[in-house]
Amino acid sequence: MPRVSVIIPCYNHGQYIGEAVQSVLNQTYQDFEIIIVNDGSTDADTNSILNNHSMPKTRVLNTTNQGLASARNNGIREARGKYILPLDADDKISSNYLEETVSILDNNQKVGIVYCEAQFFGEVNGKWELPEYSLDAMLQDNIIFCSGLFRKAEWERVGGYNPSLVDGWEDYDFWLCLIELGLLVYKVPKIMFYYRVSFNSMVRSKSIDQKVRAFVRIFNRHESLFVTNIGTLFQNLIEKREQLQANVAQKEQSIVELANTVHKLENTVHDLEATIDVLINSASWRVTAPLRTTRSYLGRFLGCRR
């Protein structure tokens, strides 16, 4: 029996599936299986690739189109591994991902989610700057991407991913379910996950209204978790606001000091201009004008001779 089951939902992403699977096959830890869930793809090339695959340790589960949450659930039901790693069909993991994360779950039963640092590739490249994990940060936004390692037994305890969350955040909801079990979250301080950015991705295509509605549903499903920690959450938000206000005040003070400096400089320039005007209009300036002109001409003449 494989120790880890990597679940890859795929809907019309046949062009990327080879990269995702190969990143798993390249693991230094080889005790795994790969289950690709073809979630009712309508793309002919994707279906052709999946129906004729010859990838080691990999099997394809064909279903009707049911959405991402259901696709993950369908794959996990078929999984034989103790540990589950969801991986989207257009993403990748580094070769040491399973070795690093499995050892953490093996050695600590209190840890229920293991993830890592991440990097963007595709339309955008660079490190994905996510806050360090804390419950406070997690209640403000999902700071764990979809590809975290967890136990199948705990997926069963919480009833899996919520298939009604079709607008995204089904992974956010699932992580909160595991956290509500009292399980800890461990972040490996290494970049081992690569998230493909495309301009037609699910998150980018959702409107603000859809995102707000999704968050309201998340809050309602985990109201007790939010309410229990609301005091700490608000206190941290207040502290952040006060820090922001202090920063703004400091910048405003710098602007005031700069304005004062500019004002002093303007006064100096004004005084200098006034002094020059007095000098030019003075009798001595007018009397010596011919001499200055003669010196100027003489200087030019001598310069030409050289």
Q: What is the pLDDT of residue 306?
A: 45
Q: What is the pLDDT of residue 109?
A: 96
Q: What is the pLDDT of residue 140?
A: 85
In one letter, which amino acid is 162?
N
Tens-digit pLDDT string for the chain (306 aa): 999 999 999 999 999 999 999 999 999 999 999 999 999 999 999 999 999 999 999 999 999 999 999 999 999 999 999 999 999 999 999 999 999 999 999 999 999 999 999 999 998 899 999 999 999 899 988 999 999 999 999 999 999 999 998 878 999 999 999 999 999 999 999 999 999 998 655 555 567 888 888 888 898 999 999 888 876 666 655 666 666 766 776 776 667 777 777 766 667 666 666 666 655 565 554 555 554 554 554 455 445 444
Q: What is the pLDDT of residue 298?
A: 46
Strands 83-86 and 4-10, sheet pairing: parallel
Strands 111-122 and 184-197, sheet pairing: parallel
Q: What is the pLDDT of residue 293?
A: 54
In one letter, which amino acid is 263?
H
Q: What is the pLDDT of residue 198?
A: 80
Q: What is the pLDDT of residue 16?
A: 96
Q: Where are the domains of the chain?
A: 4-228, 237-292
Structure tokens at 166: 């079709």
Please choose, from the candidates 197, 147, 201, the residue with its C-alpha nearest in 3D space to the C-alpha of residue 174.
147
Q: What is the pLDDT of residue 261?
A: 76
In this structure, how many other beta carbons lie within 10 angstroms of the beta carbon of residue 72?
Answer: 26
The CATH architecture one would assign to domain 4-228 is Alpha-Beta Complex (3.90)
Please choose, from the candidates 132, 138, 122, 96, the residue with its C-alpha nearest in 3D space to the C-alpha of residue 194.
122
Cβ atoms 85, 6 nearer than 8 A: yes
Q: What is the pLDDT of residue 278?
A: 59
Helices (H), the chain: 14-25, 44-51, 68-78, 97-107, 135-140, 152-158, 170-180, 202-205, 208-221, 223-228, 230-281, 283-287, 289-305
